[in-house]
Chain A
Amino acid sequence: MNTENGLPLLEVRDLKKHFVKQNKFLEEQAPPVRAVDGISFTLQAGETLGLVGESGCGKSTAARTLLRLIEPTSGQVNFFGTNLFDLKETEMRSLRKKMQIIFQDPYSSVNPARRVGNILQEPFEIHGTQNKKENEEKAIQLLEDVGLTSGHFNQYPHELSGGQLQRVGIARAIALNPKLVVADEPVSALDVSIQAQIINLLLDLKEKQDISYLFISHDMRVVEYFCDRVAVMYLGKIVELADSKQIYNSPQHPYTMALLNAIPSVESGRIKQKASIKGDIPDPTHPQRGCAFHSRCPIKEKQCEEEIPALKEIAPGHHVACFLKH
C-alpha cells in the first residue's frame, strides 16, 4: 500500500559509513574502515527485504546508519521521499515513531532496572500522551498483541525467558505503529523452538499492522522463509540483490552460491559440494584492490584483481556485482 503518494517507503542511495581511527600524535593516518561502502536499494511498503552476509560485512552498520542511530559518511536515505540526513535532530526524533528497530540480544536491549510495564509505556510518554492510565492500558494491550499477558506487566526483565523478553522488545518496537521495523538478527540468540514462535509473531504483526521489515540475518534458512527480496552483502557492498526465489533458485554471485552451499541441511537427499570457499574475510582495515571477494573466489579472473565490479541488473529485478555474470 503506497499510501504516501506512491513513493517507496525507503530509498537508500549510495550510503556510506567509513570509520576513521583517531590518529595519535605523529602517527600516520590509518586508512578508514569502509564498513558500508556505497549501498543502494529500495524497500516498497509492505515488503520484507533480507540483508544477509557474514559477520563484519556491514549489515548491522548499514541498518543503524539508515536509521541515523549513527551518522553516515555520505549518501541519501529517503523515507517516503524525505531525506533523513537533511533533518534536524528534533525532526528526526518525531519521525522515529515511524521507524523502529529490534535487536539481537533481548537482555541487553532493555533497561534491567525497569519493569516490563514501564519499558512499554516509555514510547507513549515520549511520543504520545502523558495520561498515565491510558498509557498503562496501551502497554497491556501491547503485551497481549505479542502473546504475553498482563501478568508480565510488573515483572523485571531478568524474570522473563529470552523468548518472552524478545517479545517485549518487539512490543516496544510496534508501540507507535511504525511503518518500518529493522529487525537485526531478532532470533539468533534464541533457542530453536522459540525462534519459530518469534518468526510467526513477526509475520502476524506484518499482516495486522502493515509493517515493512528490513530483516538482518546470517541464517539463510530463516531469510528464505521470511523475506520477499534479499540483498547479499560482502565487505560493505551489496554483491547480489534479487527476489528470494531468484536468489535461492538461481544464485549468480559466487559468494551467494557459497553461502547457500554451506548451509547444513536437515533434509536428506540434498546434494552438497565440498566447501568451495577457503579462507576468511580479508581484513577490512587493509582494503585490497579489485573485487573484494577475489581472494576467496573460485572463478576469479585477471580483471577481478584490478577493477571493482558494479552492481548491474542482469535480469529483471536481479542485480549482481560480478564481472563474470555481466
Chain B
Amino acid sequence: MSPPELDIQNLKVSFATPKGKLTAVNGSSFHLNQGETLALVGESGCGKTVSALSILRLLPEPPAEISSGKILFAGQNLLSLKAKALQDLRGRSISMIFQDPMTSLNPVLTIGEQMAETLLRHTTMNRQEALQKSANLLSRVELPSPKEKLKHYPHQLSGGMRQRVMIAMALACSPKVLIADEPTTALDVLIQAQILELLENLKKETGMSIIIITHDLGVVAEIAQRVLVMYAGEIVESGPARALLDNPLHPYTKGLIASVPKLGALNKSRARLEEIPGNVPSLDQRPSGCAFHPRCAWAIEKCTTQKPQLRDAEAHRQWSCHLEPGSL
C-alpha cells in the first residue's frame, strides 16, 4: 500500500481566550490515503474545522497555538515550515473550499481577477494565459458561459455558482489534496446534489484526495469512503463509511445516526425520534473522563474519571470507549 497523502500525528490545538487556554483539538491522529475521500463529522465545536485549518496553518497564531503534533505531507512536516514555504504550498498542493462562498470570495474583485491571482502566484503564466485557463476551469465545473462569468462580480452569481467558482479556483493548480469545509451546507438540496456529484467527478478525473468536513451524515454516505467522528476535540470513532453508518460502534455515533429521521419511516410508524439528551459541551466546560459521558446512556463509573483511548475494534475500525465492542 502506498504511503498516506497526509499523516497527522497527535495534533493538539488550543486557543488563548479571556477564559484561559481552551483546547479545541486534543491530540488527534489520522491520515488521508491517496485518492480517498475522508469525512470529518461532528457537531459545532468538536474541532473538525480547527483540525482542517491547522493542516494549512490558516489559524491566526496567536490566539491559536498548535502546541504539539506533526502534519506530514510529501515528506515534510508542515508544522515546521516557514511562512514563505507555506504560501508556496497553499492553493498549489493543498487547496481549501469553505462553507459560505459569499464571504470567501472578494466582493470587490471580478471572478476573473481572483481566479487569475492563484495562477499568477503559483505558475509562470502571464495574465492572458491565466484568464484563459480560468475560463477553462469554470467550464470544467460546469458553469455556463464561463468567458462572461470572468467579468462578473461575486454578488452577480447565485450561491451554487459561487461555490462552483470556489471549487474551480481550488483546482487551478491541480492540488493533491482538497479540503472542503461544509461545502454544501449553505446550499439548497438540489444544488447540493449537483456540487457533490461535481466533486466526485473531479476526483475521478484528477486522482486527488479529499477531506470533507460536514455534520450531515447523508452527505457522508454519498461521498466518503472513510469517516472520522469527532466529539469535544477528540476522535471517538473511525472506519469505512458504509460499515460505520450501518453499524456504528460508539454511543455518540449511534445517537447521531438515530436522531436523523429516516426517509420512508412514516410508512412504518411515527415513534418519537431518538434523541441524545443534553447539550454539546462548550470548550471551557469539557466534562471529566470521557467527554461524552454526561449524555451517554451506557456510561459506567469508569467513564466519569478515566479518558478512553482510541483503540482497534475490528479491521480498519477504531473507537474510544471503555465498553467492549458489541456490548451496546
Instruction: List residues of A whose CB falls within 8 A of some B CB.
Output: 54-55, 161-164, 191-197, 199-200, 203, 218, 220-222, 224-226, 244-245, 248-249, 258-259, 261-268, 270, 274-275, 277-281
| Cβ–Cβ < 8 Å partners of A161 in chain B | 279-280, 282
Q: Does B280 lie within 8 Å of A193, measured CB to CB?
A: yes
Measured CB to CB, the residues of B under 8 A from A are 43-44, 144, 158-161, 188-194, 196-197, 215-222, 242, 245-246, 255-267, 270, 272-277, 279-280, 282, 295
CA distance A226 to B295 in the complex (A): 25
Which residues of chain A have C-beta atoms less than 8 A from B222's C-beta? 264-265
Instruction: Find chain A residues with CB under 8 A from B44 CB.
Output: 162, 191
In contact, B264 and A55 (Cβ under 8 angstroms): no
| B21 → A minimal CB distance (Å) | 21
- CA gap between A225 and B267 in the complex, in Å: 10
Across-interface contacts of B258 in A (CB, < 8 A): 196
List, in ascending order, chain B residues with CB within 8 A of A218's CB.
188-189
Pairwise interchain contact A265-B259, C-beta atoms closer than 8 A: no
B273 touching A221, Cβ below 8 Å? no
Task: Give the dominant DSSP class at A's interface.
Answer: helix
User: Are the CB atoms of B270 and A195 closer together than 8 Å?
Assistant: no
Q: Give chain B residues whose Cβ lies under 8 Å from the Cβ of A275.
A: 190, 193-194, 197
Q: When the two chains form their complex, are residues A265 and B263 in contact, meaning their CB atoms are under 8 A apart?
A: yes
Whether A267 pairs with B263 at a CB distance below 8 angstroms is: yes
**B188 & A54 in contact (Cβ 8 Å cutoff):** yes
Question: What's the Cα separation between A197 and B158 when bound, in Å?
Answer: 33
- Verify A221–B262 contact, CB threshold 8 A: yes
Query: Do B192 and A248 touch (CB < 8 A)?
Result: no
Selected A-B contacts with CB under 8 Å, 20 pairs? A55-B188, A193-B275, A194-B43, A195-B259, A196-B260, A197-B275, A199-B261, A200-B273, A218-B189, A220-B263, A224-B261, A225-B265, A263-B263, A264-B192, A264-B196, A265-B218, A265-B221, A265-B263, A266-B217, A268-B246
Complex: how many Å from CA A262 to CA B263? 12
Which of A225, A258, A277 contacts B261 (CB under 8 A)?
A: A225
A200 touches B272 (CB 8 A): yes
- Is the Cβ of A280 less than 8 Å from the Cβ of B161? yes
Residues on A with C-beta less than 8 A from B196 are 264
In the assembled complex, how far is the CB of residue B48 from the closest CB belonging to chain A, in whole angstroms?
12
Q: Are B221 and A264 in contact (CB under 8 A)?
A: yes
What A residues does B188 contact at CB under 8 A?
Answer: 54-55, 218
Find chain A residues with CB under 8 A from B221 CB: 264-268
Interchain CA distance A191-B280 in the complex, whole Å: 8
Residue of A nearest to B160 (CB): A280
Contact A262 B190 (CB under 8 A): yes
A267 to B215, CA, bound (A): 16
User: In angstroms, how far is the closest chain B Cβ from the Cβ of A77?
Assistant: 27
Q: Given A200-B272, A278-B194, are A224 and B263 neighbors across the interface (CB < 8 Å)? A: yes
**Residue ID in chain B nearest A160 by CB atoms:** B279
Known contacts A275-B194, A280-B158; is-contact A225 B276 (Cβ 8 Å): no
Q: Tell which of A164, A258, A264, A265 touches B279, judged by Cβ atoms closer than 8 Å.
A: A164
Q: Check A192 against B267 for contact (C-beta < 8 Å).
A: no
Inter-chain contacts of A264 with B (CB < 8 A) = 192-193, 196, 216, 218-219, 221-222
Candidate in A203, A249, A266, A281 with the most chain B CB atoms within 10 angstroms: A266
Which chain A residues border B144 with CB–CB below 8 Å? 279
Q: Cα distance A191–B107 when bound, in Å?
A: 30
Q: Are B160 and A244 in contact (CB under 8 A)?
A: no
For the A-B complex with A200-B275, A245-B267 known, give 20 more contacts whose Cβ atoms are closer than 8 Å: A54-B188, A54-B189, A54-B191, A55-B159, A193-B259, A193-B280, A196-B259, A197-B276, A224-B266, A225-B270, A226-B261, A259-B189, A259-B190, A263-B218, A264-B193, A264-B196, A264-B218, A267-B221, A274-B197, A280-B158
Query: In the bound complex, how far is the Cα of B190 from the Cα of A265, in angstroms?
Result: 14
Chain A residues with Cβ below 8 Å from B275 are 193, 196-197, 200
Q: How far is the CB of B81 from chain A (nearest CB, A)?
A: 34
Please tell me if the beta carbons of A192 and B192 are within 8 angstroms of each other in the complex.
no
CA distance A164 to B282 in the complex (A): 13
| A residues less than 8 Å from B267 (CB atoms) | 245, 249
Q: Could you tell me the distance in whole angstroms from the C-beta of B239 to the nearest C-beta in chain A?
A: 14
Asked whether A248 lies within 8 Å of B266 as measured between CB atoms, the reply is yes
